[in-house]
Amino acid sequence: MATASSTTEEVVTRVEEDRIVLTLTPEEASTLLMITRMISGDPCLSRRKHTDSIGEALRDAGVEARWQAMRDDAIAFGSIIFYNEEV
């Protein structure tokens, strides 16, 4: 009797293109979306335009990120600021 099996193989191919494709677990994608929401700076004149684009792509892919309430043992709550620059 034949049995079904599955195999996965990771293949890494370097391609010279204008895009990079990442493979993320759902948890990693949710974490990245949370990080993109912590970015401040001018949305047109700083690198925030890139993080806004990443966040939009994640949301379009159905990724959700839910914030946990601040815990009593939390040490710090921070943000990332990008200053205006040519990019």
pTM for the model stands at 0.67
pLDDT in tens, the chain (87 residues): 566 566 677 777 776 778 888 899 999 999 999 999 888 899 999 999 999 999 999 999 999 988 766 666 665 566 788 888 876
Two tokens, residue 63: 């990724």
Q: Which amino acid is at 10?
A: E
Closest CA to 83 of 35, 33, 49: 49
Residue 9, CB half-sphere, CA atoms under 13 Å: how many? 2
